[in-house]
Amino acid sequence: MKIVMVLTSHDQLGNTGRKTGFWLKKFAAPYFVFRDAGVQLTLASPKGGPPPLDPKSDLPENQTPAMTRFKQDRVAQEALSRTVKLGDVKADDFDTVFYPGGHGPMWDLAESPVFIPPLLNCCQPFSEN
């Protein structure tokens, strides 16, 4: 099975001046479930490269075992730092798409004309939220 995990590239929480992005727990937990099950994963984002992390998601009180594992896993960190640009992703190459949660996706993924319509036509989308 091949899954593309689509993360945000958006790092501003509206016009509040606060940072946002993807929520680490909502990425790390499913990432390891998929990887441990032998799924072929591709990480993608609208701009490609490292997606912004919502700083609140990494506060001490929000830590989980999957987050700790992620911080110790160089393969996972490298994959996250090199997301593929959404415009370069071919929908037919994947069985499904997964959208990790966070506030950032409400801006750039909610209205992405480049990627979402063709992918929704090819496979079954699902989200952790």
Beta bridge partner(s), residue 45: 85
For residue 10 the two structure tokens come to: 């958006």
Instruction: Tell me the per-residue pLDDT of 37-83, one tens digit each, with 9 for 90 and over.
Output: 999 999 999 999 999 999 999 999 999 999 999 999 999 999 999 99
> What pLDDT score was predicted for residue 14?
80
User: Where in the chain are the domains?
Assistant: 2-127
Residue of higher predicted confidence among 47 and 106: 47
User: In 1-129, which residue ranges form alpha helices assigned H by DSSP?
Assistant: 24-36, 65-72, 74-81, 105-108, 116-122
At residue 108, the pLDDT reads: 77
pLDDT band at 117 (very low <50, low <70, confident <90, very high): very low
Q: What is the pLDDT of residue 87?
A: 87
Range 2-127 classified under CATH 3.30.450.20: no
Look at residues 14, 11, 16 and name the one whose alpha carbon lies nearest to residue 51.
11
